[in-house]
């Protein structure tokens, strides 16, 4: 949940009438609406846009407030982008506004430090944002658990599912039957899967493969996480469906969506 605004002190140098109660009440109302949407599971940027816009406009609506009060409101907008929407690019944008609009605020020195700390996360977010539908997925040259070479280029003309997963991931294991069913149904028609495993040990992967009989190639990425870092994978499972030219046509399909998307992609070849 997002915290409500604590008691605020008006700027004593401002001789204009101060409306602390109205300022605090308006901010609390916005935060209450944000928390209500969080509780209901509505946490997209689009859904929270009215509240985010209201927070952004609040300092200008109450110019009588101290710079610390006004800056604090914007720090809470940054908290929403960081903790709720997980959007470091927007967090940086808000922090830069605080630094620019309220340079004398007590929050400004800390936010300048936070902007620098955000840079690695922003770089990862930019990578993820670049991997959109229609973009050719950047290739890799790896070997699977049997020592055979694996790459996207080697599967040109095939519909390919890239599956970042781990045996320790409950959601991955829950999704595995649907992925396996799609493979069994469409492999003979030109559907391939490359598993990009994120287990902590190779033994965990090979042990599972021996028991389950999963037939598609697996690249073990768990020790160095080279591929996970390259493609900014933060959560498992993360999947990309590629067409015969290696272009992204879908991401993070779940359940029957996998077979449906593969069927459509094969029909379009």
Q: What is the mean pLDDT of residues 155-173?
A: 97
Q: What is the mean pLDDT of residues 170-194?
A: 98
124 and 146 both lie in a single domain: no
139 and 224 both lie in a single domain: yes
pLDDT at 1: 54
- Look at the block and give the residue holding tokens 């990578």: 127
pLDDT tens track for 102-155? 999 999 999 999 999 999 999 999 999 999 999 999 999 999 999 999 999 999
CB atoms within 10 A of CB 226: 12
pLDDT at 110: 94
For the chain, give the number of residues. Answer: 269
pLDDT at 172: 97
How many structural domains are present in the chain? 2
With respect to residue 1, please indicate whether it lies within any of the assigned structural domains. Answer: no
146 and 117 both lie in a single domain: no
Tokens of 112: 């300048």
Single out the residue of 208, 189, 188, 190 nearest to residue 198, CA to CA: 208
With respect to residue 223, please indicate whether it lies within any of the assigned structural domains. Answer: yes
Residue ending a domain, choose from 79, 95, 128:
128
pLDDT tens track for 231-242? 999 899 999 999
pLDDT at 78: 94
78 and 150 both lie in a single domain: no
What phi and psi, each to the nearest 5 degrees, are found at residue 109?
-60, -40
With respect to residue 6, please indicate whether it lies within any of the assigned structural domains. Answer: no
Given a cut of 80, is residue 2 above it in pLDDT? no
pLDDT band at residue 247 under the 50/70/90 scheme: very high
Q: Which residues contact 210 (CB under 8 A, 6 or more apart)?
A: none
CATH code, 244: 3.40.30.10
Q: Between 158 and 12, whose confidence is greater?
A: 158
Residue ending a domain, choose from 82, 99, 128:
128
- Look at the block and give the residue holding tokens 């991931």: 169
pLDDT tens track for 12-56? 333 333 347 889 899 999 999 999 999 998 789 999 999 999 999
Percent over 90 (pLDDT), the chain: 87
Given a cut of 50, is residue 269 above it in pLDDT? yes
pLDDT band at residue 3 under the 50/70/90 scheme: low
CATH code, 93: 1.25.40
Q: Between 7 and 167, whose confidence is greater?
A: 167
227 and 258 both lie in a single domain: yes
Q: Which residues contact 9 (CB under 8 A, 6 or more apart)?
A: 66, 68, 69
């Amino acid at each position: 949940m997002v915290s409500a605004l604590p008691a605020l002190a008006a700027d004593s140098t401002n001789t204009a009438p101060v409306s602390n109660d109205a300022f605090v009440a308006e901010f609390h109302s916005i935060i209450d609406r944000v928390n209500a949407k969080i509780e209901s599971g509505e946490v997209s940027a689009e859904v929270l846009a009215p509240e985010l816009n209201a927070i952004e406009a609040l300092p200008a609506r109450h110019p009588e407030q101290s710079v610390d009060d006004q800056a604090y409101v914007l720090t809470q907008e940054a908290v929403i982008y960081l903790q709720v929407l997980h959007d470091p690019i927007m967090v940086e944008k808000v922090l830069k506004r605080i630094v620019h609009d309220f340079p004398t605020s007590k929050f400004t020195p800390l936010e300048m430090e936070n902007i620098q700390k955000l840079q690695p996360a922003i770089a990862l977010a930019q990578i993820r944002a670049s991997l959109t539908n229609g973009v050719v997925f950047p290739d890799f040259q790896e070997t699977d658990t049997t020592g055979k070479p694996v790459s996207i280029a080697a599967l040109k003309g095939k519909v390919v599912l890239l599956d970042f997963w781990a045996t320790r991931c409950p959601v991955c294991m829950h999704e595995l039957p649907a992925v396996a069913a799609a493979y069994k149904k469409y492999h003979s028609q030109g559907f391939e899967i490359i598993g990009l495993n994120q287990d902590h040990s190779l033994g965990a992967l090979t042990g599972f493969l021996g028991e389950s009989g999963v037939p598609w190639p697996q690249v073990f990425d768990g020790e160095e996480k080279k591929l996970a870092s390259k493609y900014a994978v933060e959560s498992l499972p993360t999947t990309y469906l590629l067409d015969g030219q290696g272009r992204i046509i879908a991401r993070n399909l779940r359940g029957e969506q996998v077979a449906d998307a593969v069927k459509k992609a094969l029909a379009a070849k």
